[in-house]
């Protein structure tokens, strides 16, 4: 069943219900982040969305703003706190993105929104990942997440663009919950999160 309207209705219903039911958890996370990371509690960043159009994504902060003597931010691995690692391992840092879903900037399921500077580095085939709304989770996330290479992620993203359906989204959501429990693919080996995408390795 491939219905954009049904997908949107499902997104709104689940996001609204999720924010309501998870409100006690959200309040606890807000308090912990404020205590250990300071203000602001949320991390906001411009990301490319549908057709590459920019929007502001929000997550709970998982890093401090610690800087080197020259004023530059320290590497991610040095700024990522134990609380931040826990939030990422449990995907609790992603919960504010439910607001992006309600606003229509994201879907529950779709290719993850990456950095704006990556847009000029994609091949035309890889750029097709922006032919649908970005998602909180996606086909790549349940098939390896950050343990995948960039080429593997993009192939999975484009496969989703060509094959998405309501029932595939349901499958991805349930498998995502299982992956969160197992805490698989949280980061790439040797990196705090994922290495930067520097350019196309292939056009596949």
pLDDT in tens, 110-166: 999 999 999 999 999 999 999 999 999 999 999 987 778 899 999 999 999 999 999
What are the Cα distances from residue 155, in Å, to 38, 74, 182?
38, 32, 24
Count H helices, E strands: the chain?
Answer: 8, 4
Place of tokens 């401090």: 64
Say if CB 53 and CB 106 are below 8 A apart.
Answer: no
Q: What is the pLDDT along the chain (204 residues), one digit of tens a residue?
A: 789 999 999 999 999 999 999 999 999 999 999 999 888 999 999 999 999 999 999 999 999 888 888 878 888 888 889 999 999 988 899 999 999 999 999 999 999 999 999 999 999 999 999 999 999 999 999 998 777 889 999 999 999 999 999 999 999 999 998 888 776 655 555 555 667 898 865 444
Q: Output the CA torsion 197→72→68→63 (10° steps).
A: -60
- pTM to 2 decimals? 0.87
């Amino acid at each position: 069943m491939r219905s954009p309207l049904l997908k949107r209705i499902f997104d709104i219903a689940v996001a609204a219900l999720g924010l309501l039911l998870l409100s006690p958890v959200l309040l606890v996370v807000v308090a912990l982040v404020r205590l250990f990371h300071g203000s602001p509690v949320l991390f906001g960043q411009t990301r490319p969305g549908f057709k590459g159009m920019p929007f502001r994504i929000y997550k709970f902060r998982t890093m401090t703003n610690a800087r080197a003597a020259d004023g530059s931010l320290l590497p991610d691995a040095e700024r990522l706190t134990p609380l931040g690692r826990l939030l990422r391992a449990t995907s609790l840092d992603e919960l504010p993105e439910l607001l992006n879903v309600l606003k229509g900037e994201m879907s529950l399921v779709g290719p993850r929104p990456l950095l704006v500077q990556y847009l000029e580095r994609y091949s035309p085939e890889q750029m097709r990942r922006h032919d649908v709304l970005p998602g909180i989770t996606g086909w790549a996330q349940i098939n390896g997440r950050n343990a995948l290479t960039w080429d593997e992620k993009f192939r999975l993203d484009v496969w989703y663009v060509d094959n998405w359906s309501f029932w595939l989204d349901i499958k991805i959501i349930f498998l995502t919950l299982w992956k969160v429990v197992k805490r698989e693919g949280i980061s790439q080996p040797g990196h705090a999160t994922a290495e930067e995408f520097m350019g196309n390795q292939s056009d596949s």
